[in-house]
Amino acid sequence: MELFNYYRSSASYRVRIALALKGLDYDYRAVHLRRNEQFQESYAAVSAARLVPLLRDGDAVVTQSLAIIEYLDETHPEPPLLPADAAGRARVRALALDIACEIHPLNNLRVLRFLVHDLKLADEDKNRWARHWIETGLEAVERQLAARPSVFCHGETPTLADCVLVPQILNARRFDCRLDHVPQVMRVFETCMRLPAFADTHPGRCPDAEP
């Protein structure tokens, strides 16, 4: 397997966590987003969307982090990253989507570049934008975790939801978001970070990490 990813991409980090939880080996292919390597023809030939992450597994080419993780869960079922029951699977997917769809798109690199380069927002206004959507989005996640507290986002073992939650907290810290208003979120985050699958795939430990 090959994973095309960027160390600071939170979507890429999600997939690295899932691969580590399943104990799967892969070749790390760095695509530096800030240097616009995703737009080079060599990568465009692999990724029609010119986004990361992208997983190549033999003849299978899978894009979008959540689709990649579900692909891994179907092709390598142990340990499972989705619950066995339909209601549990729906809850885990909903938690993951609350982050991946409601929070992350508003603070990813493409959006922030547009705010600065096209709409001419000052850096502080850009950062205020990111903080607003991250902080309010995490409040929604907090309410769900507080309603059904468990060791991880859902149950006693990490799931797809945890793979998505942890990278978003790193983003929150990058933008100096307040996090004291989401104690359940932070408790789950700290629990995850004690596991090698989350700690060893941290952006700062990636081959392409920069100071």
| Per-residue pLDDT, 49 | 84
| Per-residue pLDDT, 63 | 95
The length of the chain is 211
Q: What is the DSSP string of 1-66?
A: -EEEE-TT-HHHHHHHHHHHHTT---EEEE--TTTTGGGSHHHHTT-SS--S-EEEETTEEEESHH
Per-residue pLDDT tens digits for 102-154: 999 888 888 888 999 899 999 999 999 999 999 999 999 999 999 999 999 99
Is 106:138 a contact under the CB 8 Å cutoff?
no
Output the pTM of the full model. 0.93
Is 137:175 a contact under the CB 8 Å cutoff?
no
Distance, in Å, from the CA atom of 99 to the CA atom of 189, rounded to the nearest integer, reads 14
Q: What is the mean pLDDT of the chain?
A: 95
| Per-residue pLDDT, 40 | 85
| Per-residue pLDDT, 35 | 87
DSSP letter at 157? S
- Tokens (6 digits) for 201: 């795939």
| Per-residue pLDDT, 51 | 87
Per-residue pLDDT tens digits for 9-60: 999 999 999 999 999 999 999 998 888 888 888 887 888 888 899 999 999 9
